[in-house]
């Protein structure tokens, strides 16, 4: 027997193999894939991933069906993790939700994005504002030591429709505190800087309401013992629906914060979560 028989030859361009899949609700799932040895990225960036589409009825040719996905794993991880919505009639996620370990997906190894530390000026307090699958880039950044080394306090807010939709984020944050490898990597002192602020909008939970409303009526600040948000101390990253991004931008600008970019670091950055 030669070695060649044991090697699985990729059948797709830029193919990576699925290593695990977890279904969180009937609308949400996460999965891990192999990481190309050459792929370098900054925690918080996104890549294009997908599957081959159905054959064109006329030509029989298949085209790749690709969408932007934030990498949910940190830059030091051996594998890549993604967190996705399942849209039953969505061109990609209607198929992607059925992947299983051993299947292949397409991954274009060109990471980009604005939810990166380099796009923010130094500050004391870092806010991550997420709705739904917008938690994904923060799942990466929350496992990156730089997040804690650069700030005195890190606050992650996550707003979902119901309690079950918070579970991916909640489990990840619990793991940071309980997993020995995470403890060692991030440090107990650093993890003490982290505050998790989950809210739901359509089901009762300890904190009900959109994060935008809870900021505007001062609930968040009362709960966390803060005076407010200021450009001198606060930095923010926002990732959610178009509506969330627009509304939160207005709130942050109202506090005097300016939007930054890779080429022009400022007080806050925004990216739209993948939806469809
Ligand atoms: P709501 O239930 O009031 O629409 P989705 O699952 O549709 O992506 O939404 C995720 C969460 O984001 C929901 O809790 C939703 O609240 C909330 N949300 C949607 N739009 C906004 C917005 N403009 N500002 C704040 N939160 C929002």
How far does the centroid of ligand 1 lie from the alpha carbon of residue 183, in Å?
32
Give residue limits of the domains in the chain.
15-112, 117-270
Pick from 130, 157, 210 the residue to mutate for probing ligand 1's pocket: most ligand atoms within 8 Å of its CB: 210
Q: Give the tokens for residue 48.
A: 């294009």
Least confident of 8-12, 24-28, 67-71, 97-101: 8-12
Residue 12 has pLDDT above 70, yes or no: no
**Fold classified for 117-270:** Rossmann fold (3.40.50)
pLDDT digits (tens, 9 = 90+) for 161-213: 999 999 999 999 999 999 998 999 999 999 999 999 999 999 999 999 999 99
**Region 228-256 average pLDDT:** 97
How far does the centroid of ligand 1 lie from the alpha carbon of residue 66, in Å?
25
pLDDT digits (tens, 9 = 90+) for 83-129: 999 999 999 999 999 999 999 999 999 999 999 999 999 999 999 99
Proportion of the chain above pLDDT 90, given as a percent: 88
Secondary-structure class of domain 15-112 per CATH: mainly beta
Q: Give the tokens for residue 275.
A: 């939806």
Proportion of the chain above pLDDT 70, given as a percent: 95
How far does the centroid of ligand 1 lie from the alpha carbon of residue 201, in Å?
7
Residue 33 has pLDDT above 70, yes or no: yes
Lining residues, ligand 1, CB within 6 Å: 131-132, 159-161, 201-202, 210-212, 240-241, 243-244, 247
Taking Cα atoms as reference points, which of 99, 65, 64, 102 lies closest to residue 82?
99
> Looking at residue 3, what is its pLDDT?
46
Is 16 within 8 Å of 69 (Cβ atoms)?
no
CA atoms of 259 and 119, how far apart (whole Å) = 9
């Amino acid at each position: 027997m030669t070695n060649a028989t044991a090697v699985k030859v990729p059948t797709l361009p830029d193919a990576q193999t699925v290593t695990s899949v977890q279904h969180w609700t009937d609308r949400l799932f996460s999965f891990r894939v192999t990481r190309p040895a050459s792929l370098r990225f900054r925690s918080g960036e996104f890549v294009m991933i997908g599957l081959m589409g159905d054959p064109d009825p006329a030509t029989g040719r298949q085209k790749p069906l690709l969408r932007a996905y934030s990498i949910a794993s940190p830059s030091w991880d051996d594998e890549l993790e993604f967190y996705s919505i399942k849209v039953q009639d969505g061109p990609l996620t209607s198929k992607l939700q059925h992947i299983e370990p051993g299947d292949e997906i397409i991954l274009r190894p060109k990471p980009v994005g604005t939810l990166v530390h380099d796009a923010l000026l130094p500050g004391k307090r870092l806010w991550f504002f997420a709705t739904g699958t917008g938690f994904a880039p923060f799942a990466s950044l929350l496992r990156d030591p730089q997040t804690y080394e650069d700030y005195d306090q890190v606050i992650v807010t996550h707003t979902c429709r119901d309690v079950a939709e918070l579970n991916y984020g909640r489990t990840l944050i619990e793991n940071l505190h309980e997993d020995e490898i995470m403890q060692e990597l991030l440090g107990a002192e650093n993890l003490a800087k982290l505050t998790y602020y989950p809210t739901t909008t359509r089901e009762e939970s300890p904190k009900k309401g959109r994060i935008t409303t809870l900021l505007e009526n001062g609930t968040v600040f009362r709960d966390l013992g803060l005076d407010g948000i200021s450009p001198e101390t606060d930095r923010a990253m926002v990732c959610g629906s178009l509506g969330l991004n627009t509304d939160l931008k207005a709130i942050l600008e109202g506090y005097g914060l300016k939007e930054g970019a890779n080429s022009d670091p400022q007080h806050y950055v925004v990216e739209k979560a993948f939806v469809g």
